[in-house]
Structure 1
Amino acid sequence: MTLPLCVIGAGSIGQRHIEVAGLSDHVRLTAVVEPNAGLRDQLAQTGLPMVAALDDVPADTRAAIIATPTQDHALSGAACIARGWATLVEKPTAGTLDAARALVTQADTAGVPLFTGHHRRCHPFSIAAREALAQIGDLVGVQGLWSLRKHTTYYDADWRRAPGAGPLLTNLTHEIDLMRFLVGEMLEASALLSSAQRRFVIEDTASIAFRFANGALGSFLISDAGASPWSFEAASHENPAIAGSDQDYLRFVGSDGALAFPSLTRWGRSGPGEIEWSKPLTKLPGQSFPRIDPLLAQIDRFAAVVNGAADDVLCTGADGIKAMEMTLAAALSGHRGHPVKAGDVPGNYTGV
C-alpha cells in the first residue's frame, strides 16, 4: 500500500527527503510544508505540492518527515503526532532531552510510530556488520577515527563558529548511533577537546572514550581540521560532496578476532587450539554490497512499518534519545573535565 506522506521543511536535507520520496515506489508525496514564501514559490515552479502550513496538508496524509531546524523538531513533531501521522524526525529528535522525551511519550500514548533519521543503519554493510561481529567472539573494544578537513570558507557563516557548531555536536551523533546499533548500550563518556588548529571558540578536534554496557570499551577521535581518508562518508561514498577513499574507519576487537568497518574485513582463527599472539590470524575479505541511497532505503522501511511490517533497523524515537544523550554526555565531559554517565546529563542541556 502506497503511503501518503508529507515533508516538513524544504531546506537542504528536506530536499533530499523530497527527492527520495519521488523515487520511492512505496510513498506518495502529498505536500511539502515550507513557511518561507520565496523558497515555497521557487519549488512550486518545479511542480512540487508546496503549502505554507500543516493545516494546508491534504486530509489523506498518514505520515510526515520533519526536516526543519532542530529547535522546531519538538513543535512540529507534536503537531504531527496529534494528527495521528507516523513521524520520522531528522536528528536530533529535539533540542533538549526533556523535549525529546516528551515527544516520545506523546507518540507512545497515541500509539503513533516515531522514528529518528539516523539513516546510516540502512546501509546493507551496516546491517551485515551485526552478524559479522558475532564471529569475533566477546567484544573487547572499538576504535574509530573520523577526520575530514572542512574547507576554510565553510566557516564564513557566523553560526558555524558559534558554540554548538563543532564536530562534537554536528558529526559525533551519527557515530554514536551507529556504534549503539552495532555494539549496544553506552554507559559513560569522557572527552578531551581542542581548538588548537582553527582557534575558534568551538572545538575542531575531540577525543572521546566510551564504556559500553557489555563491558567493551571504545575510543573515537573526531576532527574537522585534520586531512585524512578516514570517515564514514569517505569510506561509503555516501555523500557526493565528500571525496571517497574506500578506507575503513572503525575497528572492532574481540576475543576470537577482529573486524574492520565498513569493508567487513575479518581477522580470525588460523588453526586449532587457543587463539593467542604467537599464532597468525587469517584475513577474510568482507562481502561486497551495491551502493545504495540510504535515505531511500530509510523511507521505504518507514513506509513498510507504517503499513504493518516489523523492523529492527530503523532508529526509534527512544534510540534517537539515547544517541542524543551520549552525544551530550561527551560534550558535557569535555566542558567539565571529568567522565559523564548517560543518566547524569541534565534534561535541559543543549551541549553548550
Structure 2
Amino acid sequence: MTTPLPLCIIGAGSIGMRHVEVASLSPAVQITAVVEPHAPRRAELSAQGLTAVASIAEVPAETRAAVIATPTQDHAASASACLSRGWAVLVEKPTAATLTEARALVAEAEAAGLPLFTGHHRRCHPFSIAARDALAEIGDLVGVQGLWSLRKHDTYYDVDWRRAPGAGPLLTNLTHEIDLLRFFVGDMTEATALLSSARRGFVIEDTAAVAFRFAGGALASFLVSDAGASPWNFEASSYENPIIAGSGEDYLRFVGTEGALAFPSLTRFGRSGPGEIEWSKPLARSPGPAFERIDPLLAQIERFAAVASGGTDTVLCTGADGLAAMEMTLAAALSGKSGKPITPAEVPGDYTGV
C-alpha cells in the first residue's frame, strides 16, 4: 500500500476547510497541520482534533506538500515559502495576485524541479476528462459557444467587497471557464469583451460578453452573468455545488467540421450517412455516456498526491496553465475597459482587472 503523502493545508476559511474535508477522507494523504494565523480559529480547529499552527515555520518536519487556500494576495508568498522547503504545492486559483507574481512563482517551481499546480478542479470530473477525446470525433474545431448565467440572490451583495471592483462575474467566475476551455481546446491568443452593469447598477459588471481566439484558429463566444436566471451554467449542469440548484442542462456547445458536441452531457451530433456532411443532411444524435458523480476536490487532491509522490498527470492545472488562465481573464477585463481586442502580452504584469 502506498504511504500517505504528509500534507499541510494553509488557510482555514471555507475553501481551506473543503480541502481539510477531502484530505481527511483520502487514504492518499495525511494532514500534518492546518496553518491558521488567527488564534481563536486555531482553537476551533484544535477542538476538531486537527493540528493547528500559526505559521508555515511551525509545520511538522515530515511535511512534503501543501495546499494553499489563503486570500489571493498571500498566494505568492505562501507558495514561495513552501517551495523553499522542497514541498509540492497546490495553490487555489488564481495562482497569485498579479501576473508578475505568478510568473515568478512558476519560474521558482521550475528551477527547483517541484510540482506546482493551480486549483482549477473542474478538470477532474470524469466528463471533463472524457470531453477531450469526444472533441476529436467532431473534426477540426470551428467554434465554441458558452453560457454561464445564474442569478445570485440580492443579499449576496450585502457584503461590501462583493460590490467592489474586481468582484464581478468576469474575474470571479469566467476564469474557471477559461481554464476549462484551454483544457479542452488549447491556448487562447486574444480576447474581446463587452461589459454591462445595467441590471444591478453596481460599479462592477453584472454581465460580460466575451469573444476568444484560439491558437488553432477556432473562435469562442461566452456570455457570463450573475443577474440573469437560467439553468445554463457549470454548477447547475454538473450538480457540483450543493447550494446551487441543479438542472442537468448543457451549457457549452462545440462545433466542428464533422459534427458538434454538447457539454457536459457529451451528446454528439455527427455523420448520418455516406458522402459530404452538409446542410441538407440531418445529423445523427448520439447520447453521451453516463458518468458517476464525484467530488472533484477529492479527485484533485489524490491526483496531486500521486504527482508529489513521483507520478505524472495530464489532467491537473499546472502553475503554467493557471498563469495562462490568469492572462486571458485579465485580457478580457482589460478589453472590457479599453474597448479593443487584447492579447496576453498586452496585459501589464501588475494589472489586477480593477
TM-score in terms of structure 1 length? 1.00
**CA deviations over 1:167-208 (Å, ceiling 9, x no partner):** 000001000000000011000000000000000000000000
Instruction: Name the amino acid aligned to 1:127.
Output: I
Instruction: Name the amino acid aligned to 1:86.
Output: A
Runs of 4 or more above 2 Å deviation: none
Instruction: Name the amino acid aligned to 1:105.
Output: A
Aligned-pair CA distance for 1:308: 1.3
Counterpart of 1:59 in structure 2 is 61
Aligned-pair CA distance for 1:310: 1.2
Matched, 1:155 2:178: no
Counterpart of 1:219 in structure 2 is 221
304, 317, 323: which one pairs with 1:315? 317
74, 77, 80: which one pairs with 2:79? 77
Instruction: Output the CA distance in 2 between the equivalents of 1:330 and 1:61.
Output: 39
Aligned-residue CA RMSD (Å) = 0.5
**CA deviations over 1:241-264 (Å, ceiling 9, x no partner):** 100000000000000000000000
SS at match of 2:190: strand
Counterpart of 1:170 in structure 2 is 172
Matched, 1:24 2:26: yes
Superposed, 1:176-187 pairs within 5 Å as: 176-187=178-189
Matched, 1:144 2:111: no
Instruction: Output the CA distance in 2 between the equivalents of 1:175 and 1:123.
Output: 14
Superposed, 1:1-352 pairs within 5 Å as: 1-352=3-354
Instruction: Output the CA distance in 1 between the equivalents of 2:264 and 2:26.
Output: 26
SS at match of 1:171: helix
Aligned length: 352
Instruction: Name the amino acid aligned to 1:167.
Output: P
Unaligned runs of 5+ in 2: none
Instruction: Name the amino acid aligned to 1:310.
Output: T
**CA deviations over 1:14-38 (Å, ceiling 9, x no partner):** 0000000001110000000000111
Instruction: Output the CA distance in 2 between the equivalents of 1:247 and 1:12.
Output: 28
**CA deviations over 1:45-79 (Å, ceiling 9, x no partner):** 11111111111100000000000000000000110
Instruction: Output the CA distance in 2 between the equivalents of 1:54 and 1:46.
Output: 20
Percent identity, please.
75
Aligned-pair CA distance for 1:112: 1.1
**CA deviations over 1:67-117 (Å, ceiling 9, x no partner):** 000000000011000000000000000000000000111111111110000
Unaligned runs of 5+ in 1: none
